[in-house]
């Protein structure tokens, strides 16, 4: 039995029973693929069920508004995925009359769908002969065949895609792709791969040469930016002053609190002297407390978030500011990092 046949046999005996594997509905498979980008199955599964229940088909998703989608997405991160999903659903409703396309050539035209996602949906919904290459597949191929080209380099991507295409079982590409991906997720893990029970370890280049920790190779290209966010909790009776974010930064179009961003983490007693804070609250600023600084990690940014409580009312309301009741905070799409900071204060 060859390499790919061994993986398929292993898959048929050991695969996880996941809901999107029991359907060929391109819409449902699309939901699962987008939700699981940059997300573990265990974390993404509740969100998948939530979205399928709320939006059982493209038409219902297309009729949603962005606030609803972002609220459902709360806590999953990479919020642009949720916004792009809404745009895609609306486009499919308009141009494909509510029937989600299942061919690679049509899927690749849709917003938020790249080569991997298009290949996955086409393969799993229509059994189209497209090799699916995700992080799990990169890892399996790099280790088994001993490929040291970086997986995130132009040359490396071409090499791995060509290798995946050559290995593809064109009679049953869906089963082949699922086996490759599941094998990487369950056995050939990034750390502590289960080489002892691997059905192909005796012919695996990385196992033979003790190189499982060295492969796959990935270029370090991410430069992390540090940001210091000082949020002001301002209340008026049982109402809280909120801010509707713009669409050009992190957490686009979501809701947070009035914010002053600084270049470093300043002592609390230095904040009232800042021009931005004076513009917001005037010269007579009464800070009543603060919440310990919370560090929040994004892919390219490291955020240091502080929540400052004040009894001072703002001098003027900015265009995107508005008061809302504490009870209504549950209905707003707040970034999880912000929700965590305020939930204990209001017993949410």
Catalytic positions: 33
Alpha-helix residue ranges (DSSP H) falling in the chain: 3-14, 26-35, 41-54, 58-62, 66-73, 80-95, 104-107, 115-126, 135-145, 154-167, 173-186, 205-208, 275-281, 336-346
Residue 238, CA distances (Å) to 25, 47, 328 in order: 46, 31, 11
Closest CA to 164 of 189, 130, 190: 130
Give residues with Cβ within 8 angstroms of 262, minimum separation 6: 228, 230, 271, 274
CA 89/CA 57 separation, integer angstroms: 9
CA 51/CA 70 separation, integer angstroms: 11
CA 90 to chain centre: 21
């Amino acid at each position: 039995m060859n390499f790919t046949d061994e993986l398929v046999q292993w898959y048929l005996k050991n695969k996880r029973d996941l809901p999107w594997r029991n359907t060929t509905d391109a819409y449902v498979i699309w939901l699962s693929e987008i939700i699981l980008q940059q997300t573990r199955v265990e974390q993404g599964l509740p969100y998948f069920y939530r979205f399928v229940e709320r939006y059982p088909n493209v038409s219902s998703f297309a009729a949603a508004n962005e606030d609803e989608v972002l609220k459902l997405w709360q806590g999953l991160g990479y919020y642009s995925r949720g916004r792009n999903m809404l745009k895609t659903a609306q486009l499919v409703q308009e141009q494909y009359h509510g029937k989600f396309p299942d061919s690679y050539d049509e899927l690749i035209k849709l917003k938020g769908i790249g080569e991997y996602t298009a290949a996955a949906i086409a393969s799993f919904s229509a059994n189209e002969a497209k090799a699916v290459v995700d992080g799990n597949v990169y890892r399996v191929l790099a280790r088994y065949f001993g490929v040291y080209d970086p997986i995130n380099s132009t040359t490396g991507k071409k090499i791995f895609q060509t290798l995946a295409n050559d290995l593809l079982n064109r009679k049953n590409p869906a089963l082949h792709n699922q086996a490759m991906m599941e094998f990487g997720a369950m056995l050939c893990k990034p750390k502590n791969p289960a080489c002892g029970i691997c059905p192909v370890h005796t012919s695996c280049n990385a196992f033979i040469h003790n190189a499982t920790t060295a492969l796959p190779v990935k270029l370090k290209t991410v430069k992390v930016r540090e940001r210091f966010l000082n949020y002001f909790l301002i209340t008026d009776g049982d109402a809280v002053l909120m801010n509707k974010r713009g669409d050009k930064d992190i957490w686009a179009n979501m809701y947070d609190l009035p914010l002053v961003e600084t270049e470093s983490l300043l002592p609390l007693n230095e904040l009232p002297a800042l021009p931005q804070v004076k513009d917001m609250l005037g010269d007579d600023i009464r800070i009543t407390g603060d919440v310990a600084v919370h560090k929040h990690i994004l892919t390219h940014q490291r955020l240091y978030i502080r929540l400052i409580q004040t009894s001072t009312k703002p001098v003027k309301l900015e265009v995107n500011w508005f008061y809302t009741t504490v009870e209504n905070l549950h209905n707003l799409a707040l970034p999880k990092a912000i929700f965590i900071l305020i939930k204990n204060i209001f017993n949410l």
